[in-house]
Structure 1
Amino acid sequence: MLKLWRWYQKSLAVHPVKTQVISSGLIWGVGDIAAQTVTHLAAIKKKQLLNSEANKELHINWRRVATTGFYGMSFIGPFGHFWFRLVSKV
């Protein structure tokens, strides 16, 4: 794990924007998968799903994951990089 962290830190030093864009996209995508899972499990717990749907497996909406990941990559990653650079100068 430490080796992975060192590689990530080196990538941030060499290619900061690219690394943050990719990281942001992955984090947003994984976060959306987690959100869909939690929402599904909470609905089952609260019995908001119909009885026939309650036994169904979780189906991840991959289009939503891709959209969310793309948003993280195309907006949040670059914007966050330049925003925090600007804020650190103030």
Structure 2
Amino acid sequence: LAALGARDTLAPARTIKHAPEYTTRTALADAGFSEPFVEDFFRPFLAGVFLEDTLETSSRVFHLVWRSMLRGALCLPAFGVQSVP
């Protein structure tokens, strides 16, 4: 997980945009993540991000979003997500 994070954090966005395109599921398998880890961690997490739970989203989109999450500040409303109208 650290290696994927380091690679995506340090890669220029243009490099990610022009990388070969696969599904997110294929990209995670190619990165060495086991199917149980993908199913137990990435699929539920990314389902909330991409609004699809089959991990068919473009690997380019995944890597760019992952990069943005790692480089930026994530936050929640003070009273939780349920407080968002």
**Could you state the TM-score of these two structures normalised by the residue count of structure 2?**
0.26
Of structures 1 and 2, the one scoring higher in RCO (CA 8 A, sep 6+) is 1
Higher helix share: 1
